[in-house]
Amino acid sequence: MKHEFINFEKINRQTWQKLHRDTTVPLTQEELNSIKSLNDKINLKEVLDIYLPLINLISIYKKASDDLSFFKSIFLQKKIRSRPFIIGISGSVAVGKSTTSRLLQTLLSRRFKWSTVEMVTTDGFLYPNKILEEKKILDRKGFPESYDMELLLNFLDSIKNSEEFEIPVYSHEIYDIISNKKVIIQPTDFLIVEGINVFQNPQNQRLYVSDYFDLSIYVDADVANIETWYLERFQTLLKLAEKDPNNYYHRFTKMPFNEVLAMAQDTWKNINLANLEKYIEPTRSRADIILHKSQNHEIDEIYLKK
């Protein structure tokens, strides 16, 4: 057992799926297909075996958080207003964080019928390409220094205090922040914050993004599998971009395929893998729950912080 997992309870799939088993899945295969990301594979059995017990566990964390807030208010002899329950979800590029996040958003809103569940990805907190170029770090996009961490912390602080906040919007089609477009995030009961950088904060060692989380989840897989998924996704994005000249990937559709594939492998090795090994994976032990995926995208092991 790796030293970093010493503080985790390892639970295999067979054991996990027997915990708090629900018999009905509160969504259809069509809904699941609309939730899942490109090239991700997920079926209703995975929802039943893995995600429904996970929702039960999240409910326990939520109740504990509400109880703590209530007893704190008694201790302080003042009414503490209800705060949102914030879940952070991290992991490598192409590991399937977005699918997990959107699925949890759907399942939580069905379990807690009277609650609002918002989801935000940290892509919107990347500096625009223009600023990255000025800072000479466009080739470091996705690395810690490419994010406006102050803005992300201000956002979390406002939401934690039940205030609305306006955030930028990122487009994967143009591979940049959309100028003049903002989205207003209203005070909410649950907030899911998804991104490769949500357990890090290199610019401000006194305050971490994860300080605002009530629960944090890391989606994990062997590096060789993540690389395969990344390259598969890249090829799917190329196909989708063939007829769209405005798409960032369109330019690559004009190049010989072997050249494009070599470029994608190079991007994986020098950017995504480097970022994973140096900045993302070292934060894994900050999670409360680690979901480990096997080769076929199925979750085979769950690590729960003791």
Residue numbers belonging to the annotated binding site for ATP:
91-98
Q: 45: buried, middle or exposed (CB in 10 Å: 19+, 13-18, 0-12)?
A: exposed
Known binding positions? 91-98
Question: Partners of 216 in the beta sheet?
Answer: 88
Q: Which two tokens stand for residue 124?
A: 């919107």
| Contacts of 226 by beta carbon, 8 Å cutoff, 6+ apart | 92, 93, 94, 95, 276
* Helix residue ranges, H only, 161-270: 223-241, 257-267
What's the CA angle centered on 229, arms 13 and 261, to 5 degrees? Answer: 165
E-assigned strand segments in the chain? 8-12, 85-91, 117-121, 165-171, 176-185, 190-194, 215-221, 289-293, 299-305
Q: 204: buried, middle or exposed (CB in 10 Å: 19+, 13-18, 0-12)?
A: exposed
Question: Distance between CA 293 and CA 224 in Å, rounded?
Answer: 12
**H or E element that contains 81:** none
Q: Which candidate, 209, 90, 210, places its Cα nearest to that of 154? A: 209
Question: Distance between CA 91 and CA 77 in Å, rounded?
Answer: 40
